[in-house]
Amino acid sequence: MNLETRTFGEAFARLKRAMVQQSKPVLAATWQGRDVRGRPDMVTHELLNVTISTPLFGLRSLNHWRAECEPNLPWADDHFEERVGRVPLNPPPSWAWWPWAGSAAKFGGTTKFNHTYPERYWPKRAHLNHDDIMGIGSCNLAGIQREYGDLDDVVTLLVKDPLTRQAYLPIFFPEDTGVSDGGRKPCTLGYQFILREGHLHTVYFMRSCDLIRHFRDDIYLTVRLLLWVLEQCGAQDEAWADVRAGSLTMHLTSLHVFANDLLELRREQDALLSKALS
């Protein structure tokens, strides 16, 4: 499914309709590393391979994006600052007032999660002690042939080579591949940033997304990340002052809702249809 929309509100409305009309049930054996067999409430209804593309119109007003994306506030703003704060927090303090914190606690992580977005944004600092982190130090975390990069390295690459096709921030790491510890895995695969004709675009790759609980927050956090990258590039090179926010494209392998949420969506769609016919 490919959607080109003018606003994220339009995208959300169209996806809710599609979820009711086109989704297929999936009964997986596990969810977030936990056995859910025999749990009808854990059946998900899925749209497979959804791509959404929405223009940002150069707008940098956070109030505009708060109104359009309708994220969970103040949590989304608090958590975004944790993501870009250059400290690999685990757990990030905002998890305690995350709207779905109760569900997260059931799957472990109230003391330490097996991954966090601040860790994945700043992996070079994930193994440092507190004093080194506060001094913005880094360790030589080795990959196969080179040391790890982080979000600052993505910014540096864009400034050095603005038309690069390589400005990619991975969130799903090799340690997440396969069964490994059997625990939770990042829903986000990564973000690509690409500058063309004076506009910085981002492409957001997700393996999995819950339409009701996470979709709007994921969009808002990604818009804010694009604006943050623009700001950071502008701080290093004044030529970026004229670059505008271009578009956000999301690729979602599995966009889904749980069975009870699908019932609510059906009631909502029926009510909208009745209102339109009255």
Q: Return d(Cα 225, Cα 121) in angstroms, integer.
A: 11
Locus of tokens 């829903």: 187
- Structural contact between residues 79 and 92, judged by C-beta atoms closer than 8 angstroms: yes
For 230-260, write each residue's pLDDT tens digit.
999 999 999 999 999 999 999 999 999 999 9
How far is CA 131 from each of CA 109, 136, 149, rounded to the nearest angstrom? Answer: 24, 9, 21
- Is residue 107 pLDDT above 70, yes or no? no
Q: Return d(Cα 232, Cα 84) in angstroms, integer.
A: 11
Question: Average pLDDT of the chain?
Answer: 90
- Is residue 23 pLDDT above 60, yes or no? yes
Q: 3-state SS of 20-76?
A: HHHCEEECCCEECCEECCCCHHHCEEEEEEEEEEEECCCCCCHHHHHHHHCCCCCHH
Between residues 84 and 27, which one has the greater pLDDT? 84
Q: Which amino acid is at 29?
A: A
- Residue 270: its pLDDT value, please? 87
- Residue 89: its pLDDT value, please? 94
Burial group, residue 182, by CB count within 10 angstroms (0-12, 13-18, 19+)? exposed
What is the set of domains in the chain, with CATH numbers? 2-277 (3.30.572.10)
Lowest mean pLDDT among 109-113, 194-198, 248-252, 267-271: 109-113
- Structural contact between residues 116 and 92, judged by C-beta atoms closer than 8 angstroms: yes
- Residue 242: its pLDDT value, please? 95
- Is residue 24 pLDDT above 60, yes or no? yes
For 145-190, write each residue's pLDDT tens digit.
889 999 999 999 999 999 999 999 999 999 899 866 667 899 999 9
- Residue 49: its pLDDT value, please? 98
- Residue 86: its pLDDT value, please? 95
